[in-house]
Amino acid sequence: MSSAAEGPAVPARYRDRLRIEGLVLAACGLLGSAVLLAAVDEATEVPGSTIGQLALVAVLIAVFGPRLVRGWLARAEPVRSAEAGSGEPTPLAHVVAVAAVLTAAFGLLVGWDAGLRITGGCALVGLAQAFLLAPRVARYESARGVVVVRLPGSRLGRGTRLGELPAPVPPGT
């Protein structure tokens, strides 16, 4: 926490949120997949379906992920630091919990091959966030001379609200 003498707290960058949350989600997905493949024979039933569905997820992410981020960036609002909120990422425990609950629910209700599709999907989404979407946000920031932050009011079903702060001036310039 910063004191008044240090100035206002700088909200977390959206690109950092994407990278950190993405890496945690990818790790959950990869670890969950490894556990399922090693411990549950049913996870490998219908491998063609699992591979096909994960390939479809990868294509959808590759096509729609950048489009969504591009649209959110196009609607980014110029804000002051005080209006931006903290920009703090979703608690990482929430990311882990969502991945685990979805995997368990699908595994128990549909079958462990479906659980494997969930863990594989988590890995793909997380990797896309970290290595496809976060760099797009970084390029946008660099081109515009801004810092992009997630604004309060962003919701899963309604999309992400982004704000633009002026980029800090490096010391000595």
pLDDT on residue 75? 93
Banded model confidence at residue 35, pLDDT cuts 50, 70, 90:
very high
User: Which comes out higher in pLDDT, residue 84 or 89?
Assistant: 84
Q: Are 161 and 154 in contact (CB under 8 A)?
A: yes
Neighbour-count burial of 91, counting CB atoms closer than 10 A to its CB (0-12 exposed, 13-18 middle, 19+ buried): exposed
Average pLDDT over residues 27-45: 95
Q: Are 75 and 162 in contact (CB under 8 A)?
A: yes
To the nearest 10°, the Cα dihedral for 100, 104, 110, 116? 50
Average pLDDT over residues 137-157: 87
What mean pLDDT is reported for the chain? 88
Decide: helix, strand or coil at residue 164.
strand
Average pLDDT over residues 35-47: 94
Does the pLDDT value for residue 139 go beyond 90? yes
pLDDT on residue 4? 44
- Helix H or strand E encompassing 135: helix 134-144
Could you report the per-residue pLDDT of 97-112, keeping only the tens digit for each? 999 999 999 999 999 9
